[in-house]
Amino acid sequence: MIRDTSAQDRPETVLSNALLPFYSTKRGGTGVGLALIREIAEAHGGRVALANRPGGGLVVTIALRGDHRLR
């Protein structure tokens, strides 16, 4: 879990689009960072979730399935 403690909440439109390829709110941003993280997590049976923190900021949760045995 990654926590951003800034006082700023992200609008729902940003949270719902932030994991899509090439979506960025930053000038000059490429929009590949979070999309790449999502792709890697899903390739391993996991998921990525974004949510506003109560009182401001953002929480990024990366959950992977429990089977991590080497093959």
Look up residue 42 and give its DSSP letter.
Answer: H
> Whole-angstrom Cα distance, residue 17 to residue 67?
29
pLDDT value for 36: 96
Entry pTM: 0.75
User: For the chain, which residues make up each domain, given as ranges?
Assistant: 2-63
pLDDT value for 69: 59
Per-residue pLDDT tens, the chain, 71 aa: give them: 777 777 678 888 999 999 999 999 889 999 999 999 999 999 999 999 999 988 888 899 999 887 655 45
> Whole-angstrom Cα distance, residue 22 to residue 29?
8
pLDDT value for 68: 58
| Domain 2-63 fold | Heat Shock Protein 90 (3.30.565)
pLDDT value for 43: 94
